[in-house]
Structure 1
Amino acid sequence: MSRPGRRGSRGGREALRAASAGLALLLAAGCTQDSGPDDRRRGRAATVELDQLVALADEPVHIRISGLTAGTKTTVTTHATDHRGMAWSGRAVFTADADGTVDLARDTPRAGTYRGADGMGLLWSMKPAEGDPDATWFIPGAARTTAAYRVRLTVASGGRTLAERDLTRTWTSAGVRHKNLTVSTDKVRGSLFLPPAHGPRQAPVLLLGGSEGGLADERAAALLASRGHPALSLCYFGCRGRPENLDGIPLEYFATAAQLLRDQPQADPRRLAVLGVSRGSEAAQTMAQYYPGLVHDAVAYLPSRDTWDAYHPGCLSCGQGRAAWSHHGKDLRLAPIPLDRVRGTVLAVGSGDDRLWPSLAAARSIGQQRNAAGRKHQALLYPKAGHAAAFYPYLPSAVQGGGRPLGGTRAADAHAKADSWPQVLRLLERTAP
């Protein structure tokens, strides 16, 4: 996640419905695994029931266990391995109801890695086998090379394994294509994900990361393309062909990327949106303001209301007094960033326990502004979340980055992402006026 630099001195790093159609299974369809031998002799067969065995990684899955003995203590665990080979696991202990069932969306665990009824709690609350879960990120691999990751669900009671089932979480649905963009060939550095050639034109999405530099979250771009949105994960500094520092980055560079994206065959050119997180939220807002003929909507995750100073990762004081952005060759310094020329909506997502900057206050202020048609922008406010509460849900994430607290808790951030991501998708699916 991004780590903003305070004007003059402070900075730091910041540290998809089309899921394999035909493989999605209904609750009672083929989800039974063999029970243990003792349970078979007693005539009982525990069943792991899933509404989808293969689903996009940002889709909730209904998990239900049946065939248990009423009132028995039952432990459900999840196991997954990240791209480094590190093992992760989640755990929840339940009491089977009078019908011998456990429903994760309904039931509150007696103990485990999460609290309260949460149908996806066993996924986002997984912890690493080694290290501090608050400081360790589950990274399943790059979306362009690793299309999915697998989660093993295990049900046990009385020291016996009763049932097991694999759940596959995918980043790209069938037909999604990927292309690397280079500055020398395409004038921008990015990772372009295109939806299947068939289907209606939908809003293209430009994704911008923060002061960590490099490409924005490619998995988010892959998930969006799986839903029909041409999506470009852009690098604007900190990669080959681009400056090393966030210093004087011209808005024209983003405009070039937006035009390239808007020209894709599957794109609806009237509805382009820019999603920016942390320092990238500054560029998302200014692009919507200064290029209303090109950009329709913007999503500002963990935003600022102002443009901050330049940021040099290797020298925290080097950006002092320098502008992070430029427009038409001139430094761009805005306090606050105006939003009155925006053609569509700026949706701001802010956290109340953000330890890097006051994103909740900034999001609230954005939601009070009006666009070119006089309509208010929108804000989603999460008082207990921190600076890592951005993009898609259900993946284990840390609340520390670069050795510095980002604020919030794993549970609060998980709630914020699960609540905000569907609202971002609805904004993108809305028909442009």
Structure 2
Amino acid sequence: MRGDLARCAIGVLAVVGAAVGGIAAAPGKAAMRSASERIAIDAPVASAYQSVHIQITGLPPGSQATITSSAYDYAGKLWQAQATFTADSSGTVDLAKQAPTSGSYTGVDPMGLVWSMNPGTAAGGSPSFFFLTAYPEAEPSFSIDLAVRDEAGRVTRATLTRLWMTQGVTHRTLTLSADGVYGDLYLPAPSAGAARRPAVLLFGGSEGGESERYTAAVLASEGYPALSLAYFGETGLPSTLTNIPLDYFAGAARLLAKQPEVDPRRVLALGASRGAEAALLLAQNFPELIHGAILYGPTARVNPSFPDGASIAWTLHGVALAAGMPIPVDRISGPVLPIAGADDAVWNSPQSATQISMELDEDRNPYPHKALIYPDAGHGIDAGVDVPSSTSYTYPDSGYTLEFGGTREGDAAAQQAAWQRVLALLASLRQP
């Protein structure tokens, strides 16, 4: 397990419970018990972004077992996935080693029953962006119920508890009137004698609002102070991605760097899509504040305003940055991690990721930098690790649907692999 979340694991969870002919026993009837079938989970309580190992034991060898995962989103809508497996010669189904014979996903994937959940029944519904909880600080965790039905109709149950925030993480809402920025600050639990830590300033893309607060909360749970920032689409901020001052982001970076837990020499920007564009601009233009960047779905050029595309998107010290201009990288004072899906349908982020890394090489940048490009993944690879997401996004105001490319399977694999690289990068910056 990773970081502070290791202390939240409670060992192997074994849950036994059965019902005849369905997922639940009929009202008023006692459920039949199975003494042998068990669901074993190595980390039943773990980070929302952490893969876990799930095994079903005690099944008749060669028999079929159907596993259903269920969770309710913040609006009360039921999401489910379902997969059928064949038990091996020892009567075990191991999701990390076996592919389902049918169901919501294909191939071997230990977390396939999580990211493949759809609204409605397992076979129906179309996934879109959603949040399982309204806010991570209001609901620090969410539950995913697992039910295993064997050939005899017996049902065994267990619960996965997925954490946005571990115990001890603190949260403070940031307001324009009091703090000069709109966002949320998440700080890790205090640790006696701990050195100051790397910190992350996060922001999303053209969806607007504050879409990275969940990742910020998870990062704080991993031990890294994090500030999730909105820069348009919220009260008091511009309504669209037009004439956004990069100096506003710099103000948020200064606020984050002043926190007692933060090492001000190791504040990184993490952005997604248009947010990755802003993160690269910040690392280049404010190297004394932003010491590197994590870029999900990046671009190597400045883009115009959104959604009209006819105006300026960014300003620097009151001066407009012209659309189409390349973003230089010669002043960046820290590591850069460009992350792209090979099948990005929004823009050519793989080419940009490669270009950014090559230009850092040419500028002899001494800090780690390497483009990560994942097959079968699209523009939505930042949506959240092992949390259901879609390959498109419909803007609520206009109804316009943006196709991201990639597949849900490809996105899920890329998210998990990239997240491990992000954590490894941050861990490398920690001081003993």
Report the TM-score when normalising by structure 1.
0.89
Structure 1 position 33 matched with structure 2 position 16: yes
- 1:127 positional shift: 1.4
- Picking from 322, 345, 356, the partner of 2:346 is 356
Q: Match for 2:57: what amino acid?
A: S
What is the CA–CA distance in structure 1 between the aligned matches of 2:132 and 2:377, rounded to whole Å?
23
- 1:84 positional shift: 1.1
2:408 maps to which residue? 410
Matches within 5 A, 1:70-149: 70-129=61-120, 133-141=125-133, 142-149=135-142
Structure 1 position 261 matched with structure 2 position 253: no
- 1:200 positional shift: 3.6
Query: Does the aligned pair in 2 maintain the 1:45–1:162 contact within 8 Å?
Result: no
Structure 1 position 295 matched with structure 2 position 290: yes
Q: Match for 1:18: what amino acid?
A: D
2:176 maps to which residue? 183
CA distances 1:227-258 after superposition (whole Å, capped 9, x unpaired): 11111110111112222222222221111100
Question: Structure 1 residues 121, 42: CA separation in 2 closer, same or farther (over 3 Å shift)?
Answer: closer
- 1:52 positional shift: 1.4
What is the CA–CA distance in structure 2 between the aligned matches of 1:93 and 1:425, rounded to whole Å?
33
Percent of residue pairs identical: 40
Query: Does the aligned pair in 1 maintain the 2:186–2:226 contact within 8 Å?
Result: yes
- 1:369 positional shift: 2.1
Report the 3-state secondary structure (helix = DSSP H, G, I; strand = E; otherwise coil) of the residue aligned with 2:5: coil
Question: Structure 1 residues 173, 183: CA separation in 2 closer, same or farther (over 3 Å shift)?
Answer: same
Q: Match for 2:344: what amino acid?
A: D
What is the CA–CA distance in structure 2 between the aligned matches of 1:41 and 1:240, rounded to whole Å?
55
2:149 maps to which residue? 156
What is the CA–CA distance in structure 2 between the aligned matches of 1:293 and 1:122, rounded to whole Å?
44
For structure 1, the 5+ residue unaligned runs are: 1-15
Query: Does the aligned pair in 2 maintain the 1:343–1:373 contact within 8 Å?
Result: no
CA distances 1:379-414 after superposition (whole Å, capped 9, x unpaired): 110232111111531001111111232211111111
What is the CA–CA distance in structure 1 between the aligned matches of 2:269 and 2:383, rounded to whole Å?
13
Q: Match for 1:405: what amino acid?
A: E
Matches within 5 A, 1:272-283: 272-283=267-278
- Picking from 325, 330, 334, the partner of 2:314 is 325
- 1:25 positional shift: 2.9
- 1:344 positional shift: 1.3
What is the CA–CA distance in structure 2 between the aligned matches of 1:42 and 1:169, rounded to whole Å?
28
1:4 maps to which residue? none
Query: Does the aligned pair in 2 maintain the 1:155–1:162 contact within 8 Å?
Result: yes
Query: Does the aligned pair in 1 maintain the 2:205–2:275 contact within 8 Å?
Result: yes
- 1:335 positional shift: 2.7
- 1:63 positional shift: 0.3
Q: Match for 2:177: what amino acid?
A: S
What is the CA–CA distance in structure 2 between the aligned matches of 1:42 and 1:256, rounded to whole Å?
60
1:19 maps to which residue? 5
What is the CA–CA distance in structure 1 between the aligned matches of 2:271 and 2:33, rounded to whole Å?
57
CA distances 1:61-117 after superposition (whole Å, capped 9, x unpaired): 110111111111111111111111111111111111111111100111111111111
1:387 maps to which residue? 379
Query: Does the aligned pair in 2 maintain the 1:207–1:232 contact within 8 Å?
Result: yes
Query: Does the aligned pair in 1 maintain the 2:277–2:298 contact within 8 Å?
Result: yes
What is the CA–CA distance in structure 2 between the aligned matches of 1:297 and 1:196, rounded to whole Å?
24
| Number of equivalences | 408
Higher mean alpha-carbon deviation, 403-412 vs 250-259, is at 403-412
Structure 1 position 170 matched with structure 2 position 155: no
1:335 maps to which residue? 325
For structure 2, the 5+ residue unaligned runs are: 22-30, 395-400
Structure 1 position 192 matched with structure 2 position 195: no
What is the CA–CA distance in structure 2 between the aligned matches of 1:264 and 1:250, rounded to whole Å?
23
Q: Match for 1:33: what amino acid?
A: V
Higher mean alpha-carbon deviation, 155-164 vs 63-72, is at 155-164
Q: Match for 1:328: what amino acid?
A: H
What is the CA–CA distance in structure 1 between the aligned matches of 2:217 and 2:137, rounded to whole Å?
8
Question: Structure 1 residues 133, 425: CA separation in 2 closer, same or farther (over 3 Å shift)?
Answer: farther
Query: Does the aligned pair in 1 maintain the 2:18–2:33 contact within 8 Å?
Result: no
Superposition RMSD in Å: 2.3
What is the CA–CA distance in structure 2 between the aligned matches of 1:193 and 1:43, rounded to whole Å?
44
- Picking from 366, 369, 376, the partner of 2:359 is 369
2:53 maps to which residue? 62
Q: Match for 1:165: what amino acid?
A: A
Query: Does the aligned pair in 2 maintain the 1:299–1:348 contact within 8 Å?
Result: yes
Larger RCO (CA within 8 A; separation ≥ 6): 1
Query: Does the aligned pair in 2 maintain the 1:369–1:377 contact within 8 Å?
Result: no
1:3 maps to which residue? none
2:397 maps to which residue? none
2:336 maps to which residue? 346
Query: Does the aligned pair in 2 maintain the 1:35–1:46 contact within 8 Å?
Result: no
